[in-house]
Every structure is written in C-alpha cells, then in structure tokens.
Amino acid sequence: MVSKTRAALAGIAAAAIALGVAELIAVWTGPESAPLVAVGGVIVDSVPEPLKDFAITLFGVYDKIALLVGTAAVLAVVAAFIGIGAARRRWIGYAGIGLFALIGLAAALSRPGANPLSILPTLVGSALALIVLFGLLEKAPAQDEDGRRDFLKWTVAAFGGAALAGAAGRVWGSSRGVEQARSQVSLPSPASAAPAAPADPPVQDLTRYVTANPEFYRIDTALVAPQVDPATWRLKIHGRVAKPLTLTFDELLSMPMVERYITLACVSNEVGGDLIGNAKWLGVPVASLLEMVQPDPAADQVVSRSADGWSCGTPTMVLKDGRDALIAVAMNGEPLPVEHGFPARMVTPGLYGYVSACKWITEMELTTFADFDAYWIRRGWAEQGPIKTQSRIDVPRNNARVSGGEVTIAGVAWAQHRGISVVEVRVDGGAWQPVELAATVSADTWRQWVYRWPAAAGKHTISVRAADATGAVQSGNEVPIFPDGAEGWHTISVTVQ
C-alpha cells in the first residue's frame, strides 16, 4: 500500500519533469510552445477584465511572474491528487496526465505563430511524466529503511532533473534568442536630435527625469518576450492605402530618424502609481510612413499588430497631426531591449499604451473603427485612450515620519502632448499652494516639481493636483482605471515629529 504522502510526491515530481523537459524542448520549438507559458497565455486572453485589473494593481510589473507561479502551484496541487489516485487505480494516472496533455496541446496550438512542432514540448513532457509517475509509485510501497531511501533518492533525482532541464532551457533559450543580433545593431545618427535632458532637482528619492531601461515599467500580454530576428523582421503597411509597403529592418534603419524624449503611461496606472516612464526614443516618424502609403481619407484607424498577435488601434488623425509618433528602434541610446519591443515598436505621445504603443510591431493596417476592434477594445476599454492629466507625490512617501521645519515635497506631473503648466499642493485640505516646476524638453514628457513646506508637528495629509497647458485642472473626482484611465488627486499622510 502506498502512503498518500509518497503518492502525492510522485505526482508532483512527474509534473515537474513534464514542465522542465518541455521548457528545454521549447528552446527549439519556440518559448510559447512550453505548456506552462502556453496555458498562461490562454489565461491572460480569457480572464475577466476586473481580475486582470486586480492582478496589475496587486503585482504591478510582476503580474506575469505571479501568473506563472500561481499556475504552477495549482498544477502541483492537482498533480498531487493525480498521484494519490494513480496509486489506487492506475487509469487515474493515465487519465490525469492525458487531460493535462490535451490542455497543453490545445493551448500551444492556439498561440500566434504555432506550427506542428509546437506540440512536441507537451507530448514529450507528458510521456516522461507517465514514466516518472509509475516508476516512483513502484518504489513507493517499500517500508524498510533501504526502500524509503531508494524512493527518496529517485524522487530527489526527478526534481533535480526537472530543475536542471528547466534551467538549461532558460539558459539555452537566451543564448539562442535575439540578444546577439541586438548587440550587433548599429544605430544611425538622428536627422533630428533630441534636446539635452534637464538636470534633475537635487531632491533625494525624486523620480529621475529619464527612466533607465531596466527600471522602465513593462505591462503587456506576452508571458515571454517574443524573440524577433531583425534579419527576418518585416513591417507590413497595408489595408486601405494606395501604395502598400513592406520594410525590412535595414530599410527602416536607412530612413531619416528623429530622437525625442517621450513619456509613456499605462491605462492601468492607479492614481499615484508607477506604471509610467520617460525615455529617449529614436525612430522613424509614423507620419512619414503614412505619406508613403497614401491612406484612404476614410481610414480613421491604424491597427498595429505585434509578433505575438496582440493588436492596438490608433486614430489615424493623431498619427498625422504633427506629434512625434515613432516606429522606434532605440531606447535611451541603445537598441530596444527585447522586453520593450526589439527590433521595433510604436511610440505615440499623448495616448495610453493600449491604443498606441505596439511592441514587436510587424504590421500596420489602415482601416476604420467601425470595421475592427483591437485587443483591449474587444474587452470593453475605451476606443481612443487620450492620457489624462495626473500628478504624483514621490517625496515624502505615504505614512512617512519627517522632522519638523522645512520639509521638501516633490514629485512628477504629466499631461503628454498638452504639457504641464501648473502644479499645486495643499496640506490638510487648506489652500492650494503653487510649487516650483523643473524644466522639461517638451510637452510630451512629464515634469518634476518641488515644494518647500513649513511643517508643524502632528499628522497631516498632503494632496497634489496639476493643470495642463490649456488651463484644464486635473479632476479630483475618484474614477477607477476602467475603461479609460484613473482620475483623482494623489493624497498621502505624513507624521511630523
């Protein structure tokens, strides 16, 4: 008779082998063919919007890691029950692993770019899982000390093999990825260079004007960043145009490029949140590409598609109104990081990313809003997505304790493509006080601000609001992020000692 503990361990070990070996095989069949990633991708595409919003609010840029860990944890629990069932009735083991295999196969084949080889990670992993499960269950009944040691030895070996295979898959996958090709990209000099970035105010812990690439927020639907080879990359511009166009990466690099500082923001950013960043982008103006293809005047939407199948729809008039919308190839002086869209992505000032910032872009289709709803629009988000005026307090942090006297309050405010003209702070619901605004290079970036507060002892609340260059003042009404971005004044509490 097999104890429940040993049977459960056998089931979990079998699942670990399946996932580890599948990760290794996915080095050759593509990262999205690994069953954990494939199933996770289906979950991302299928879960209700409130649950996605909750995950982003709770985990922020770590939402994908949380999903993968959570999925693996659920699988471990189910695998334990499969092991317990298989110890009593062999067919339960076959049925349980077979069911997981079917789910993995269906998920892998449903992902963009799937091909017949996409089933290999799940097939091989499932076959090995059966071997490990029943091999361990045969050793599990032993009750003597040697038998217990033998079962433990093989169980540890199974977990170790799974970890080794998974780690090898990650390492080899990275080496076979596009980082080497990225490192060999020679960026052209811009035909129009960005002005020098202003100096940061001398305030500790204030957000820097330029966000370093590793610190730039990442919110997208890709559980693993697509590995797009620039040698085979193509940008297809078609649809309701007079002259369809397809560009290679070298052809894109040979075109006149501009360099601009542009602040990007996610529509999922809560009031006071950090899903926003400012970088120096190098790219080809989208307007010049549209001039080349000559869009139909009735084509009011440009649908951009990513290598992983994601889509966003941008108003054509916005891309032609003179703003620096770019097909970007560089970020802060280096080729785009893979996680941020290498080899090319769209960057559009003034619009939330879900309608304008397609990473790993491969296609731009001129169409109409009446004819097509992009990824997030089908899920209930607003069609246009202009960025709302917002401001944030970075210093001091919420619930901080500070010394009395002059206390520095500082943060950032943004209203991309309109610009920030005024920022005001108030304490304990009193009168609004103007702050000192730092310099900025354009209306397309955020603006740092500083206020010197003569603080008295006690507990206080501090709020901030901003006005854009048109004079419109940031709304104080609390509005959730769905369907077109949060509103409200960022307010913190501090205790002055």
CB atoms within 10 A of CB 332: 17
pLDDT on residue 248: 98
- Phi first, then psi, for residue 486 (nearest 5°) are -75, 155
pLDDT at 179 over 70: yes
Residue 312 maps to a domain: yes
Tell which of 175, 202, 229 closes a domain.
175
pLDDT over 70 percentage in the chain: 96
- Phi first, then psi, for residue 449 (nearest 5°) are -145, 155
pLDDT over 90 percentage in the chain: 79
pLDDT on residue 139: 87
Residues 23 and 164 occupy one common structural domain = yes
pLDDT on residue 37: 83
How distant, in Å, are the alpha carbons of 254, 260, 279, 320 from that of 191?
11, 11, 18, 19
Task: Tell me the three state secondary structure of residue 213.
Answer: helix
Containing domain of residue 227, as a range? 213-379
CA 170 to chain centre: 19
Q: How many domains does the structure of the chain reveal? A: 3
pLDDT at 170 over 80: no
Residues 269 and 410 occupy one common structural domain = no
Residues 368 and 412 occupy one common structural domain = no
pLDDT on residue 203: 97
Angle CA 379–385–386, to nearest 5: 170
Q: What is the mean pLDDT of residues 340-351?
A: 98
Residues 38 and 111 occupy one common structural domain = yes
* Chain position carrying tokens 């490029």: 257
Highest mean pLDDT among 97-106, 109-118, 440-449: 440-449
Tell which of 379, 400, 427 closes a domain.
379
Q: What is the mean pLDDT of residues 255-265?
A: 98
pLDDT on residue 52: 64
Q: pLDDT band at 428, cuts 50/70/90?
A: very high
| CATH (domain of 450) | 2.60.40.650
Residues 51 and 146 occupy one common structural domain = yes
Residue 202 maps to a domain: no
pLDDT on residue 222: 86
Q: pLDDT band at 53, cuts 50/70/90?
A: low
**pLDDT tens digits for 457-492?**
999 999 999 999 999 999 999 999 999 999 999 999
**pLDDT tens digits for 350-363?**
999 999 999 999 99
**pLDDT tens digits for 95-104?**
999 999 999 9
pLDDT on residue 6: 92
Q: pLDDT band at 41, cuts 50/70/90?
A: confident
Residues 131 and 38 occupy one common structural domain = yes
Residues 256 and 232 occupy one common structural domain = yes
Q: What is the mean pLDDT of residues 54-71?
A: 73
Q: pLDDT band at 48, cuts 50/70/90?
A: confident
DSSP string for 266-317:
-TTPPTT---EEEEEEEEEEHHHHHHHH-B-TT--EEEEEETTS-EEEEEHH
Determine contact, residues 91/99, Cβ cutoff 8 Å: no
pLDDT on residue 198: 97
| Closest by Cα among 43, 18, 16, 228 to 120 | 18
CB atoms within 10 A of CB 436: 12
Residue 277 maps to a domain: yes
pLDDT at 40 over 70: yes
Task: Tell me the three state secondary structure of residue 453.
Answer: strand
Residue 188 maps to a domain: no
From CA 349, how far away is CA 281, in angstroms rounded? 11
pLDDT on residue 176: 64
**Mean of the per-residue pLDDT values of the chain:** 93
Residues 397 and 371 occupy one common structural domain = no
pLDDT on residue 114: 85
pLDDT at 62 over 80: no
pLDDT on residue 311: 97
Residues 106 and 219 occupy one common structural domain = no
Residues 304 and 443 occupy one common structural domain = no
**pLDDT tens digits for 190-245?**
999 999 999 999 999 999 999 999 999 999 988 888 989 999 999 999 999 999 99
From CA 102, how far away is CA 20, in angstroms rounded? 18
Residues 265 and 370 occupy one common structural domain = yes
pLDDT at 257 over 70: yes
pLDDT at 148 over 90: no
Q: pLDDT band at 296, cuts 50/70/90?
A: very high
Residue 190 maps to a domain: no
Q: What is the mean pLDDT of residues 243-261?
A: 98
pLDDT on residue 353: 97
Instruction: Look up residue 350 and give its two tokens.
Output: 């003034």
Q: What is the pTM of this model?
A: 0.83
pLDDT at 277 over 60: yes
pLDDT on residue 167: 86
From CA 489, how far away is CA 197, in angstroms rounded? 28
CB atoms within 10 A of CB 269: 25
pLDDT at 49 over 90: no
From CA 400, how far away is CA 495, in angstroms rounded? 6
Partners of 250 in beta bridges: none
pLDDT at 420 over 60: yes
Tell which of 329, 348, 379 closes a domain.
379
From CA 71, how far away is CA 68, in angstroms rounded? 5
Residue 341 maps to a domain: yes
Q: pLDDT band at 143, cuts 50/70/90?
A: confident
Residue 193 maps to a domain: no
Determine contact, residues 224/112, Cβ cutoff 8 Å: no
Residue 201 maps to a domain: no
Residues 431 and 288 occupy one common structural domain = no
pLDDT at 396 over 60: yes
| CATH (domain of 290) | 3.90.420.10
